[in-house]
Structure 1
Amino acid sequence: MEHNESTNIIQLSTNNSKMPNKSKYRYLSQPYNSTCISFEILDITLNDAGYYAGGIDKEKALSLGHGVVLQVSGHPTKPEIIGNLNVSVGSYSELTCSSKSTSAPDYYAKLETLDYTWFVNGTKKDKENNQKLSLHVTKDLRYNKYSCTAMGKKLMSESSDTVQINPLYEPNQLSIHPEPSLNYGKLTVKDGKTIGPYDCLADCNPPCEIIWKYKDTAGTFHDATVSGHTLSVLTVSRNISLLRCIAKYMGKTDDKKKHNIPLDVQYLDNPVLFVSDKFEEPNHTVKIKEGKEFQIFCNVNGNPEPKITLRKDASDSEIKQSTSGDWLNHTMKSLQCSDIGTYKCTGISPEFNDTEEMFRINVTCDTRKDTSLKMKTLYGSKSGQDVKVTVAVPVIANPPPQKSALRWFGPIANSSIMSMVFQQDVPYKHWINSSIPIINQNYFGNYTLKYNMTEVITITINAEDVPQVPRNFTGYSYASGFINLTWVSGFDGGKVQHFILSIKDRIGWQELANLSDPGQGRVVHYESGRLNPGQEYWYQLKSCNKINCSKESANITITAKAEPRLSVLLDKTFVIGASSAVVILILTIVFVLIILKRKTALNRQDNQQDGAEIADQPDVVLYAAVDKSAFQKNQNKADVVAEAVPEKKDENDTLYAVVEKKTTTEANPSAIKKESEQKNKSKKERQEGATAAEATGASATSRNVNQDGLIYIDVDFAKKPENPDKNEKPKIHGEEDRTEYTFVDFSKRAPVVKEKPKKEEEK
């Protein structure tokens, strides 16, 4: 500070280039020329801080060292953090917080010492008050923000700008997003499908360069299409085995910077066919002779290993299935016509539609009978101009049999037999339908069907017609009252036949005998037995079998030979004896009826007294069942018996030998059954008794005679059910139709009874 009287009291000078503002200072010394200088600084600022010295001139003021220092308290300058921020992980980083005091000039900086405070992410870091901060660098430091402040004696600086450590490190491993779903360490994908996009992420600083490659089945790597670190959508084929993500760090690569994605590319190819070691085009037809060996090879490539099946005609049943590998082998030792058809080789793999190829086997086989089907070989037929037997022969043949090569051989040579061929449900099975005419009996016999003169089958056509009318039906009376009939057995229609001989009476034809057939062309005999001498008899003969009887019948009329006078007298005697028997029978019946009527009246009175009502009871019926079916075992051994004089018969012309009277109090099923069995047995006996002997001449009869040769009757009165109507009169009914009768007529005489052998009598 200088004194200049002429101008100013105070003259200011400074080392700064800019002159201080003189108006800030006010001189206070008195007198003005006093050597003790006093002045005042107005509006103190940080710029006013400094060293103040006085003297005559600037040089003397500074040299004397008699000055003072003005210290102005102020905030330290904003700190700046200095240090290496890019540090490898595992190293140390040192940061320096730099600030200046504003309370004194720089040349007096020692007058104020600054203190420093460090902050991490805005939080004060304890025990770090030094200007320098030392850090052990890890990956996590990249997330921290560091700042600091400077503190003077009184005032603190503002916070410094934040800084971050940039930890430098190589990638430890790579990651793929989205993460592939691996199965047994591989990514499963179908051939022709797409995968991606995939992001390959590498944890490295500075960031790595990402490269995608794929490896083929030959082991060669190829660049894949990428966008930055993302693998674009990739269409997968079966020749890709691996995807690889590569991360380049600082231009370098090593095994730690690779990530592999193994691929399991699945596929299923169409089958490839080989028939007998030759490649076979799909849907092709293989022709082969019956009996030959045939081999089928089917190859189906696929991943995973497919299942291969062989089927025929889309049937549910498998012919064969592969057990291992992608090949199926099948050998058919001896082909048959049944092997004709379409065969299908199928490849089956999960998640894929089945693949298949088909081929056809056409087996040629000769025409032969189909034994799998039942066929009728025995036929029965009638004969006639319009009669034909239809024969259906099932055959196996491929190609189908030709109608022109079919021929039937039978009893009649060069017979015109029409045949037609019809296919069945499969191509190798056919029906040969033929119509064989049976014009007359000469056409019956064996017929053989031949194809190209090779026998197919033989059938037999037997006669099955109504029999012929018996031939040479004749008769004569060889003794008094005896007639002998003979005839010749004709064609029997192919069935067992019998002969029905009938006799005519005033009502009509009545069956007399049922005779068996001794054989075609044989003579049949029938002997009538004892008849009325001098009486004319009409006979009718028919041939019958299970089909029907002959359309016509043979008829003859014969007059029985007359008897001597003595025989007539004997017959009258026997007639008187028979009449006496009838009178005794009638008296017995009347006596029994009177007793029954009385008993019935008493029962009615008892019922009226008790007040009981009897309902649904059958009528009280007395009936006579005359059994004319068989002789008694001990017949009269006389050769001649008395002849009964014909009299007027009832409308059923029935003789009665057994009179039964049955009464039942309640419906008894067992009794009804027993009665029915008795009736059937009686009827059967009558029929058997009416059957005449064959050629032996012995005749059968239905009358019962006593030891004297007279007709006799057995009267059996069995108890019948009670009838509510106690006043109803008893009735006599016939055995079959239960027709009410008022009299019983015995008009015929007993037949001749021949003596039986003793052994037969003992039986």
Structure 2
Amino acid sequence: MFTLIAALVDFFNVLSAWRYRISSRTIIMIRILQALFLTIVIYARVFESQGGSLSISTRFNDGDVSFMWNGPSSDSYDVALPGLRDGAFNVNGSNYTVKNAIDYESIIFDVKAKSDTNYSRIIYKVSKIESKEGDSVTISWTAPFFPQAGVYTIYHQNKANRSIIQVTSNTVTTQNSKYEYLSQPFNSTNITFMLRNITLDDAGYYAGGIGTEAAWSGGGVVLIVLGNPSTPNITGLLNIPVGNTTNLTCSSTSTSSPDYYAKLVKLSYKWFVNGKDVQKPIGDIRFSERYRDMRFTVSKNHRYNQYSCEAIEKNLLSKRSDPVQINPLYEPGTMSISGKPDIHNGKLTVKEGETVGPYNCSADCNPPCEIKWRYKDIDDKVNDASSSGQELSVLKVNRNISLLRCIAIYMNKTDDKKKHNITLDVQYLDNPVVLINNKNGEPNHPVEIREGGQLRLSCNVNGNPVPKITLQKVAGDSKINQSTSGDWLNHTMQSLECSNIGTYKCTGMSPGFNDTEKMFRINVSCDTRLDYSLPMKTLYGSKSGQDIKITVAVPVIANPPPHKSSVRWFGPVEDLDIASTVSQQDVPYKHRINSSIPILDQNYFGNYTLKYNMTDVVTITINAEDVPQVPRNFNGYSYASGYINLTWVSGFDGGEVQHFILSIKDQFGWHELANLSDPGQGRVVHYESGRLNAGQKYWYQLKSCNIINCSKESAEITITPKAEPRLSVLLDKTFVIGASSAVVILILTIVFVLIILKRKTALNRQDNQQDGAEIADQPDVVLYAAVDKSAFQKNQNKADVVAEAVPEKKDETDNLYAVVEKKTTTEAKPSATKPESEQKNECKRERQEGATAAEATGASGTSRNVNQDGLIYIDVDFAKKPENKDKNEKPKIHGEEDRTEYTFVDFSKKAPVVKEKPKKEEEK
């Protein structure tokens, strides 16, 4: 049936969607039919009983459920409510309302017409959900159907009816973010949604459907939001005579929502007596049902009790009510004095000249008694005292008053009165009398005494009881002297010190009496000196620089206070400009001289002496505690092949032992090479490296360090070690020179043979020209002369075959020597005995050898001469050695003093190969 109805509803919704194609009259008809079917849907939730002829529907409104059936409203029907009401009863009309339906879990409703034999029945289930404010709750029910094309609307009904959620088969629209629709799919008939952060306004009835009538239709859920009950109020008879019974009632209301639920709630209560929970009957206290009423018999002690209560609704407590008190009524009993008079041995101690009180006299009676105050003097005369009702306010007491009396009169019955006496012990305390060196001490006129002087103090106080006398310094806890008698208190200070400066007081003390005192001042003058009672730092460590200053605070004792103009510092530097200030400490004679000492450079380290009026006060020491200076004059040089030497000058060490860190740079960066000790400021430090690669660049950096820190790195330097010829190169060059020399010797041999042959021909021609004179053999005289190298190089360049150049050593001198052949006449005689032919042959041989020597030494054949004595001359260049720095030195001929007769030229001194000059050059 429900499926058919839903299909019809969807049909009408489709027709509505096509309204722009249908006439207005047709649209009106569609709307009428749609409303008719909506009404049918509302009444569709009907459960027909077995054999019954009536269809029943329900409607929920403000906690009540109305049952409606389809019979004529003018007829009478039999209605039964099993479980709620006994038997059937008659109802006129076609509806019946069950009040306060939310009190029940379910309602069984039976109805039948007079003509029916069976009842039609419907069972209405009252769905309720209870929650508290701030919670979240999920509400759900089962809808009879879900519209296929229309909108299913969820309504909330409390004080007003409003829609909160609209659901189609594919969309959900909520009126507030606190609502969340949970049913999946959307067109499910299991309607479920969540309500977050519940408030009392969210309470009420939730139902849904396709029209507004669905808000009241059955099948919904009642959301009950529980609240704490209101603050209770206690009522009852509070003023009651002792012995009577009183009844106190605690009243409160529920604040839960909706209202139709709150009015049905039955609260329970909890009572408190003086803040203590009373759950069970105690003594004569009794309670009614749910503890709403409390009964007990009144006694005097009940006036001290406070009664309060709390209301309870399902474990939710209300605030506690305001407390109430019982006022028991009774006649006077005992009397009491409030204000706690200080009674000693039955007497009240009272100060002379002050008022007594305030004291409050009360009698144990209710209503209160009339209270009056009187006093009695030492002459037993009674007088009225000034009072305000029960309170004694103003009564100036002197030594003549001996007694105070309080009188209580109940209900104006003067014959029935109570009285209470207070015996007075009037005490007094006179002001102290002080003498300083037999003179009265006054606070505005201090006694001036020089340090080391003597001071005599006397103090006396008169009072009752006998007072205690103390003499002490103000702002000090220690007492100079004290006395328990009424005699004078005497004290003598033999030798005053600056610490004795201050205000003193003489105090008289008596129990229960304000102390009396007299103050006077002593001023001791003393010279400025160091205060040894306070710690004084005398050793400082510091850096140096333009902005470096050491703050020194020197505690001193002085009275009058020191003047900063008389403060001077003397230290390692003359004409110190040190600013100083003076500040007082906690006592007038203690001060601090605050100075700021500049440490501009290392010369400022040392001892500093503070003088006041040129008198020494204290000496401090400021030591260097600085980073060392950067080493100066950092450089290096290479002193041998592969070796370098680094030097620098040590700077200021910062006051601590310093060392030097030498770093070298490679492809990976800088790393430490050596750690060297400091020989002392201004000393030169040397570092010699091991053998390095000659010709390679090396980078070095230097810094100095002490225990404080390291200086900045010096500028890096670059050094390239010297190079020297390698042994392998020398061997290679020696081999080349040897090979070249062999070639040269071969060439010279060939040339020599050719020259001999040529000279032999010339000699034969010369022999034919000579007259046969005998030439005596002369001893050879070897003369050595330095040969000019320039000429050697010149001739060497002209040679046909040139040997490979041999490098010269720088520290060697290549001396070229030529042997000069000379024939002497002293030895001609021995040769005269030889045959003439032999002599001729010798002469020829000598001439040939001489010619050969001449050619070998570079002399041309034309420059060679033979005189009549048979001496052969050659041209020799006696040039000075090029290495000789003395330009005035004459050429030296080696072997001149010890001549040896030889006829050869020495070629071992690197004799150059000389090519024979062409004829053209000889002519030139």
What is the TM-score when the length of structure 1 is the normalising length? 0.40
- Which structure has more relative contact order (CA 8 Å, sep 6+)? It is 1
What is the TM-score when the length of structure 2 is the normalising length? 0.33
